[in-house]
Amino acid sequence: MPIRENLTHSKELRDILVADAVLILAFTMVFAWGFGGIFTLFAAPTKSISNFIYFLPMAVVAATLSFVLHELMHKFVAQHYGAIAAFRSSKNGLLITLLTGAIGFLLGIPGATMIYVHSFTKRENGIVSLAGPLTNFVVFVVFLAAFLFSTPNTYLSNLFYFVMFVSILLAFFNMLPIYPLDGSKVLAWDKRVYAATMLVIFALMYVFAHIPLFEIFIWIMIAFYFSMFYRRIL
């Protein structure tokens, strides 16, 4: 159990709004400028700024729905089991999120829902952890339906796809079996639930989000490396 800090609604609201804003900026940079990141501004400033303006509203919708709802669901389910829970941003995590977004490969770790409880069973801890990724599933399915019924190749259809992509990406990252991510706690609770959840994530990523398997593998390797770094500085 972490050492309990002063949990106030105003601080929690401020923390989650700051974290959301940083994620919005980071996602915008990644999708607007690609792997070259912010350095593309020097090569093609007009196009870079135009791309940034194009993707910014999409990132606002995607990050807010996928990230904020994810963290709130952790909180509400933890409270259901009698815990005290609140979101807290991490200064180091915010910095890593911005820096990786700026170079074109996002590692989104702006903070987490802190849970204070005397005792959690493995099942309760697993369910609380799974609640976030399951929320991403719901967001994905809603926007997949909207995407399928939208007019192709329009800004609105691109927005729907963007939200789908971000939502399933966050579910995937959080379900990696690496402490302190959600996946490590779900795996400790029930290997069958973990395997079924990851199977669904891979299917959605590959079939509907069209993410190549090679990219998924690269993400796993980089996330594993940064998770070890993150545990030392959070």
* Active-site residue list: 71
- Of the candidates 99, 103, 105, 107, the one whose C-alpha atom is nearest the C-alpha of residue 36 is 103
Alpha-carbon dihedral angle through residues 167, 92, 215, 207, given to the nearest 10 degrees: -10
Residue 16 to residue 6: CA distance in whole angstroms = 16
Question: For residue 18, which of 74, 84, 75, 71 has the smallest C-alpha distance?
Answer: 71
DSSP state of 229: H
For the chain, strand residue ranges (E) read: 84-89, 111-116
DSSP string, 137-178: HHHHHHHHHHHHTSPTTSHHHHHHHHHHHHHHHHHHHHTSS-
Dig out the tokens for 169 from the structure. 């990406």
**From the CB of residue 116, how many other CB atoms can be counted at a distance below 10 Å?**
15
